[in-house]
Amino acid sequence: MGLFLSTHVNKVDKKGRVSVPSSFRGVLGGQTELIVFRSLQANAIDACAVDYMDRLSEALDNPNKPDDMRDLIETTVFGGSVRLAIDPEGRIVLPEHFMAFAGITEGAAFVGRRHTFQIWDPDALSVHEAASRDRSRAQNISLSTILARTNSVLAGGGSSGGGVQ
* Positions in the binding site for a copy of itself (CB under 8 A): 2-7, 23, 35, 37, 39-41, 46, 48, 52-57, 59-60, 62, 64-65, 69, 71-83, 111-116, 118, 128-129, 132-133, 135-137, 139, 141-144, 146-147, 150-151, 153-154, 165
Q: In DSSP terms, which residues pair with 75 in a beta bridge?
A: none
100 to each of 14, 104, 138, 151, how far by Cα in Å? Answer: 15, 6, 33, 42
Give every CB contact of residue 157 below 8 A, 6+ residues apart in sequence.
none
- Name the residue nearer to DNA (CB basis): 33 or 134: 33
Q: Which does 18 bind (CB under 5 to 8 A by kind): a copy of itself, DNA, none?
A: DNA
Give the Cβ contact number of residue 68 at 10 Å: 8
Q: Which does 10 bind (CB under 5 to 8 A by kind): a copy of itself, DNA, none?
A: DNA
